[in-house]
Amino acid sequence: MVREFPFVEGEIAGIKGKFMLDTGMQDALVINDHRVPITGGSKIGTGHFGSGQTYEVRLHSVVQNIRIGTIGYPRVTRVRSQDARMLEKITPDFLGWIGHGFFSSHAMKIDYQRMEVTFYEEGQERFLAGEKLIAALPFETRRLPNVPLIRARIGDVDAIVSLDTGMYGSLNIAEAERRSLLESGQLSPTDDPDKFDLKGVRIDDKIDAVVPGIEVEEGPSASAAAVGITEATELELGFAFLQNFKTVWDYRHNRLYLLAR
């Protein structure tokens, strides 16, 4: 773990560093070509830094000698790269992302306390063995197969929850509903003027959540349209919520399992 983000040690062509384990990334692997100077590839797009500067997104037919954890890949095909120097502020040895395409055919168990991730080919009888199950939450996906969505309520406000290991947590909500949550005490300010504590969250009518220190923004999130979110209130849950459990992400059966730590 680095801050609220799960990382896996790795190496690309002799350059050692860390890959972020990010369910918010659809590709199996994306390389930070600011850290790893791979050449060639074809330009497939352009991205933008917050400063307004642009960077190229490139597709490489082959990248050789990649290690993720203890697994070595002599040759990986169709790999995207981009300048991700902004993520080097989190960890200067940022190699890139491991995303949905890497683990979608397995169940993925994340244990934040032990700082361990395990992949299972087998079903729930295997990954639930010896665990205390708190809740099994069915989820849907819309335009992006990697972003689980679950219906929820925050007090009297209907919401959609999106889940993502690559972030902390935030609430996107209209001003009228924001005022309502503040007046009812579900949403309360903190010493940090940009952060709020949130309580009274009921997810899938199965589990209650208290989410401390999240950002609150008016209007839809930057990713709402791409994900397919049309609901007026979106609660993005990452480490702020996930750290309370061991979690199993089973995209094969659209289930998120919450286990006791």
Please choose, from the candidates 93, 33, 95, 39, the residue with its C-alpha nearest in 3D space to the C-alpha of residue 62.
Answer: 39
- Mean of the pLDDT values across residues 135-141? 98
**Residue 146 and residue 65 in one domain:** no
**Residue 154 and residue 78 in one domain:** no
What CATH number is associated with residue 69?
A: 2.40.70
**Residue 96 and residue 144 in one domain:** no
Task: Report residue 156's pLDDT band, with 50, 70 and 90 as the boundaries.
Answer: very high
Confirm whether pTM is higher than 0.85.
Answer: yes
pLDDT at 6 over 70: yes
Return the bridge partners of 232, or none.
Answer: none
* Listed residues 62, 87, 103: the one ending a domain: 103
**Residue 91 and residue 149 in one domain:** no
In a domain, 50, yes or no: yes
**Residue 51 and residue 88 in one domain:** yes
What does DSSP assign to residue 121?
Answer: S
pLDDT at 174 over 60: yes
In a domain, 64, yes or no: yes
**Residue 94 and residue 211 in one domain:** no
Across 44-53, 102-111, 188-197, least confident range: 44-53
Q: pLDDT (tens digit, 9 = 90+) per residue, 22-81?
A: 999 999 999 999 999 998 889 888 876 555 567 789 999 999 999 999 999 999 999 999
What CATH number is associated with residue 164?
A: 2.40.70.10
**Residue 134 and residue 234 in one domain:** yes
Query: What is the residue range of 34's domain?
Result: 7-103
Q: pLDDT (tens digit, 9 = 90+) per residue, 200-214?
A: 999 999 999 999 999
pLDDT value, residue 48: 65
Cα Dmax for the chain: 58
**Residue 233 and residue 180 in one domain:** yes
- Half-sphere exposure of 76 toward its Cβ, with a 13 Å CA cutoff? 23
Number of domains in the chain: 2
**Residue 162 and residue 195 in one domain:** yes
Q: pLDDT (tens digit, 9 = 90+) per residue, 78-89?
A: 999 999 998 999
Q: pLDDT (tens digit, 9 = 90+) per residue, 223-239?
A: 999 999 999 999 999 99
Rounded Cα gap, residues 148 and 163, in angstroms: 6
**Residue 96 and residue 131 in one domain:** no
Share of the chain above pLDDT 70, in %: 97
In a domain, 219, yes or no: yes
In a domain, 121, yes or no: no
pLDDT value, residue 177: 96
In a domain, 120, yes or no: no
Which one is predicted more confidently, 4 or 76?
Answer: 76
**Residue 133 and residue 52 in one domain:** no
